[in-house]
Structure 1
């Protein structure tokens, strides 16, 4: 349950410690950083992170098994009960400075995967950076967000929140900052990385929470090639392209919530097409 934060801690960027040497390129470019935040900042955020019930009550979404509950920066900044450290954190990690840090890391990989990126959206170094649900594409080129996310407790039977998929093609990047609760003894809930199997593959389109398209692929068409463990104070970040296939492993029945922060950068138009 969020509450007023008394102690003052220095708010850091999640990418402050990242270097190009951290980039892994198998099966697609990404970084995995352990302890990107100082212990003091991490604990200040972890002890005041909203629960699924808190978020669900405020956004009007009932609690069901292993569902996703998003508390976006617009909600956090407008919520008088959220700790100030969260307000400072989402502001810093959805800012023009954060975008420049991402670009310093991944620009070459992004262009290599999608050579006509700057034809479609303009020079990456000149994009006007705004915040999602605060600014619009009338005055900005990319809209960032830093969202507190809960996957609710798993009841009934083990399940995966989402299997193999590619993030929406109008997103420039995706990021996941894991904040596993110290009492969470559930198995699973890890990030799985995939590559396409040889031969045909097929994506499905279904309505998401916000009415956009989502691109899921039948597991028969992909091969798992790596796993990044769901843990405390761990950042995964990557530029989005058609090869950036990932999903969440099956999580055991558990009363514990799966906690993380989602980082996104939305563009007005898609950067690539997927054969559906």
Structure 2
């Protein structure tokens, strides 16, 4: 069986420092030029051409398409280097990097977390998220994906909170040089006064903000090449994607996440 490299040289956090973490409106860190240019270029060269492999995606208006990390690393048709990159972000080593980066924020937002799980955060054993896994405390995933081209100006996902089981979220952008369209930026929100009502939306999923008057966009992470944002999932972690204008280009992104296998009461709504 093929053994993939899992060297820390692939890490999206190599240029990160805990001192750079912004704590308000929720804990996050933006890293520009996250990867060395030579590595970024190799990853870009090996990125799947979703539209070529499935031309029907060209007619889907701004929809999310992705390949789960567990499936991607097993498929030898994909670039070995990109599979190794994904493999590292499914590892215990990467999880420990995240723990160190957000140590202060975790203590601030979740002072009872270690008591709830019965061990130190660093001692949690992680596993790759798969359909079969059941008896694991924390799943990691690293999804290679796109938002499909846009035929009508729209947002792929409005202001929302992620699932309560989600511990952290990372988004790595790989904008194509030829793509000069506007939009697709990540918007970070703060709650103004009263906590907004959340509901399900047929297009945007669950935990969607219904009353935008109760939140305010306070930061924008531009959809640009080699930019990585990672944030801790808290009751304040409202975020969404700005509208994209019409474009034949996909919005390329890699989604790195850590999910608890069950609801341990990270926060309640």
TM-score, normalised by the number of residues in structure 2: 0.89
The match for 1:5 is none
In the alignment, the residues of structure 1 paired with residue 64 and residue 190 of structure 2 have an alpha-carbon distance, to the nearest angstrom, of: 25
The match for 1:24 is 22
Question: 1:61: Cα distance to partner?
Answer: 8.0
1:214 matches 2:212? no
List, as ranges, runs of 4+ consecutive aligned residues in structure 1 with deviation greater than 4 Å. Answer: 54-57, 60-63, 206-209
1:64 to 55, 60, 66: 60
The match for 1:78 is 74
1:129 matches 2:116? no
TM-score, normalised by the number of residues in structure 1: 0.87
Call closer, same or farther: CA 1:18–1:94 in 2, change over 3 Å.
Answer: same
The match for 1:272 is 266
Higher mean C-alpha deviation, range 104-113 or range 248-257: 104-113
Call closer, same or farther: CA 1:121–1:10 in 2, change over 3 Å.
Answer: closer
2:165 to 162, 170, 193: 170
Call closer, same or farther: CA 1:56–1:111 in 2, change over 3 Å.
Answer: farther
Higher mean C-alpha deviation, range 70-79 or range 181-190: 70-79
Cα offsets for 1:142-184 (capped at 9, x unmatched) = 11011111000000x2100001011111011000011111111
Aligned residues of 1:135 and 1:143 also touching (Cα < 8 A):
no
In the alignment, the residues of structure 2 paired with residue 130 and residue 199 of structure 1 have an alpha-carbon distance, to the nearest angstrom, of: 38
In the alignment, the residues of structure 1 paired with residue 133 and residue 104 of structure 2 have an alpha-carbon distance, to the nearest angstrom, of: 27
1:256 to 249, 259, 263: 249
Where 2:226 maps in the other structure, the secondary structure is strand
Q: Which runs of 5+ in 2 are unaligned?
A: 1-6
Aligned residues of 1:31 and 1:237 also touching (Cα < 8 A):
yes
Question: 1:114: Cα distance to partner?
Answer: 2.2
Q: Which runs of 5+ in 1 are unaligned?
A: 1-8
1:34 matches 2:32? yes
Cα offsets for 1:198-234 (capped at 9, x unmatched) = 235200135789xxx7311122321111111110101
Q: CA RMSD in A?
A: 2.4
Question: 1:121: Cα distance to partner?
Answer: 2.8
Aligned residues of 2:58 and 2:149 also touching (Cα < 8 A):
no
Call closer, same or farther: CA 1:244–1:55 in 2, change over 3 Å.
Answer: farther
Aligned residues of 1:76 and 1:86 also touching (Cα < 8 A):
no
